[in-house]
Amino acid sequence: MGDVYIEHLVKKRPDIKALLMKAVIIGAFGLVAGVFIMLAFAMTPLFLVLVLVLAFAAMHAMSYFNVEYEYLFTNGEIDIDIIYSKSRRKNLFSGEIKSFEIMCHATETAHNNLFSNADTKKDFTSGEINENTYKFYVNQKGKRFAVLIEPSDELLKAFRLYLNTSKLILKK
């Protein structure tokens, strides 16, 4: 079997909480900037610098709402990274496919007990459960993880190569 390398990106859709936070950031910046600009006519240029610093801080905070998850699959190992505004990256999960205790479609109910007893639950999806959403359960370093992902068809085929078929329950 040759080397297997697959990348897959999933763009996270903003939920209502993210949209509200954006509105709060924009509103707060507008209010504070308006007050600073009105006071700037009576005060020193320091207020203009403060407005610029606040603008930079608001832009930086807004960049955390543009999120993508990248699944990197290399020869039986999966890495899941989060990418903010297509510029900053952080690794969120790494593991071997063979260590998965079970992987099934997210709507599968037969293994809910296993997933509900996980120490840590992670959602690395676009934000909604659909026909491409799967969950897996893995025990790593004494911690039990339940993870939601949205793999591509190519990624699912690669999982089949490395995961024992008794541990993989696919709807397709």
DSSP conformational letter for 167? G
Q: How far apart are CA 65 and CA 92, in angstroms?
A: 17
pTM of the model: 0.79
pLDDT on residue 172: 45
Q: Which residue has the tokens 């955390």?
A: 64
Does residue 22 belong to any structural domain of this protein? Answer: yes
Residue 23 lies in a domain: yes
Q: Residue 123 domain-assigned?
A: no
The per-residue pLDDT string of the chain (172 residues; one tens digit each, 9 = 90 and over) reads: 568 899 999 999 888 888 888 888 888 888 877 776 776 665 666 767 777 787 888 888 888 888 999 999 999 999 999 999 888 999 999 999 988 888 888 888 887 888 888 889 999 999 888 889 999 999 888 889 999 999 999 999 888 888 876 566 665 4
Query: Is residue 21 in a domain?
Result: yes
Closest to 6 (Cα-Cα) out of 76, 62, 84: 76
Q: Does residue 10 sit within a domain?
A: no
The boundaries of the domain holding residue 35 are 16-63
Does some domain include residue 29? yes
Does some domain include residue 107?
Answer: no
- Compute the distance between CA of residue 128 and CA of residue 151 in angstroms, rounded to an integer: 13
Overall domain count for the chain: 1
- Of the candidates 124, 144, 142, the one whose C-alpha atom is nearest the C-alpha of residue 9 is 124
What letter does residue 163 receive in the DSSP assignment?
A: S
Does the residue 31 lie in any domain? yes
